[in-house]
Amino acid sequence: MTERTMELEKQQTQTPTNVERTRQTRAYMPNVDIFETGDRVILLADMPGVSEDSLDITLEKNVLTIRGYTAAQAPEGFQPAYAEYGVGNYERTFALSDEVDRNQIEATIKNGVLRLEMPKAETAKTRKITVKAQS
């Protein structure tokens, strides 16, 4: 297995030692891309099989938690003989800085890709400072 192939495999989340899971299914960490513009932070997360109704996003204090729930999709009456794609839920957490305006975060999902748009707080936005010549 090449190094590149290993990077693309799904990573199963680790359960902390003092936490008990309430669901008996695998949970994967979705692959995420984060982009920053002058006035916002954009997060894209790959969550195939997750719909708007099976998505749970919470923000508590400065911790953003993303959870997506999926179900095995096999045709009725069939059992998989071989599967390379692991079915399971998705879970990922992020610590947000004070630079994000928590009241203006927007989330959309399309074709299994979650998009979170997090506007920067006014105090964190880049601004132009004019320079005046002294005489």
Given a cut of 50, whether residue 6 has pLDDT beyond it is: no
pLDDT confidence band for 10 (50 / 70 / 90): low
Question: pTM of this prediction?
Answer: 0.71
Given a cut of 80, whether residue 8 has pLDDT beyond it is: no
Domain residue ranges of the chain, discontinuous segments joined by +: 26-73+84-123
Given a cut of 90, whether residue 67 has pLDDT beyond it is: yes
Given a cut of 50, whether residue 39 has pLDDT beyond it is: yes
The per-residue DSSP string of the chain comes to --HHHHHHS-EEPPPPTT---SS-S-EEEPPEEEEE-SSEEEEEEE-TT--GGGEEEEEETTEEEEEE-------TT---S--SSPP-EEEEEEE--TTB-GGG-EEEEETTEEEEEEEBPGGGS----------
Q: Does domain 26-73+84-123 have CATH number 1.20.1540.10?
A: no
